[in-house]
Amino acid sequence: MKKWTFFIGLMLPLFAVSQSVDQQSLDKIRSSFVKDNYTTGMQNALSANPITQLAWSRENEGSADHYFTYRVDVSGITNQKKSGRCWLFTSLNVFRPMAISHFKVSSFEFSENYLYFWDLFEKANLFLNNIVATADREIDDEKVRWYFRSPVDDGGQWINFVNLANKYGMVPREAMEETYSSENTAWMTKLLKRKLREQALELRELKSAGENKQAIEDRKVEMLSVVYRMLALNLGEPPVTFNYRYKNKDGELVEAGNFTPKSFMNEVLGEVKLNDYVMLMNDPTRPFWKHFEIENYRNVEEGANWHYVNLPNDVIKEFCIESIKNNQAMYASCDVGKQLRRDFGVLDVDNFNYEAVYDVPFSMTKAQRIQSRESGSSHGMALIAVEVDEDEQPLKWQFENSWGEKTGEKGYLTFTDEWFNEYMFRIVVHKDFISEKVLGIYGEKAEMLPPWDPMF
């Protein structure tokens, strides 16, 4: 025993030394940096200019237009301002064409602020429920730490919208306008998180002290009253009923009548059901043709978790083209920051050549970027257009964005089919445009993934 202890004692310092950069290694590294004319010039350029300006591929300038074979009838651009509500804007924007057609107006916008209020309120309830459910675990337990990391936030995706709309309905923007806090959410959510963490600690103490289930639930309801107050002060109170009047395309004033949020949603959507939309994913790190679900990834306690069918891109594109041909916009999310030329409104894998700037290869695949967290979905937009060749194969696509009209091509972003392959992740398509095979998989029991999975 003493012999092995002595051996390990000798080996540990050697192991530690082998991990450090010694002088010999440092000399070798320094000598590899050769100051030839190109390197000197590029060093001067990089030290005085934005990297993207130097990496911009000049041959791409003017190479993409914004015309398409098939395009959904859309009108107007929304603006999420300084908030992370892209998923909510995108989801509502999918149904804006229906509202424009139904009311025979030139433009229309749903109230994002209305559903944003209920999203934060429901997330607060789910967070406090999760805290009570895990109160018997240590405070540094992995799941408990995950909950405390972000009690509420602006983020979300399609299923969050479905959960909210099915419970609370939808209203026109006039029924609950944007406020400063809805357009600049940082401080409001920061203080809301602070209060929720404080409340969560109290609930853990109550559970540890042996308080009965009803007493804990009663205290949680009191806590939610505080959350409601904070939200109402920042965002206004959501309407229970409202009167809707508008001017149609002919300039005539129309008295549509009195609505509840749910009756208004039913008026606009008609026979369309939110649960008839299917989320499709392209995640090459996991098996295709399979149904997955993300544990506890929802906003409403009784709502559905995020779930999707993982598919190859070529299959997803077929469904997307059919949807666009039938004038149906789609919820889509992607890694928008990769290869984006904001001023031109173009996303192209050849927009920026960073290899030429550094003379260093960047060679990760899509799967490797996901696994290493180099890439993942960062933004949601409505997919509305596609350009195809004579064989109906896609060449380029278009997003309707929610960054206002001054970003991109009057608020729209055009992206190449190659960019779709590399940086598109999730698309939501109505079941009418999806094959029976995929619908069958969607109906199967999903494999559960942890909430901290790399894609989420």
Q: Would you please indicate which residues are annotated as catalytic (active-site) residues?
A: 86, 379, 401
Beta bridge partners of 386: 70, 397
Largest CA distance in the chain: 96
3-state secondary structure of 259: strand
In eight-state DSSP terms, residue 355 is: H
Dihedral sign from CA coordinates of 89, 91, 93, 96: negative
Closest residue by Cα to residue 415 from 344, 347, 324 = 347
Q: Is 275 left (phi over 0), alpha (psi -120 to 50) or beta?
A: alpha
Answer for the pair 332, 424: CB distance below 8 angstroms, yes or no.
Answer: yes
Q: What are phi and psi of 61, to 5 degrees?
A: -65, 120
Closest to 56 in 3D by CA, of 410, 340, 421, 422: 340
End-to-end CA distance of the chain: 48
* DSSP label of 151: S
Q: Which of 164, 9, 8, 193 is nearest to 88 (CA)?
A: 164
Which stretches does DSSP call E strand in 190-326? 242-247, 253-259, 277-281, 290-294, 307-310
Cα separation, 178 vs 262, whole angstroms: 20
CB proximity list for 69: less than 8 A, separation 6 or greater: 386, 387, 388
Spell out the residues 6+ positions from residue 332 whose beta carbon is closer than 8 angstroms to its own.
90, 380, 381, 382, 383, 399, 424, 426, 427, 428
| Residue in the block written with tokens 């997330």 | 123
Handedness of CA 5, 9, 12, 14 (dihedral sign): negative
Say how far apart CA 330 and CA 79 lie, in whole Å. 18
Residue 376 structure tokens? 């993942």
Identity of residue 252: E
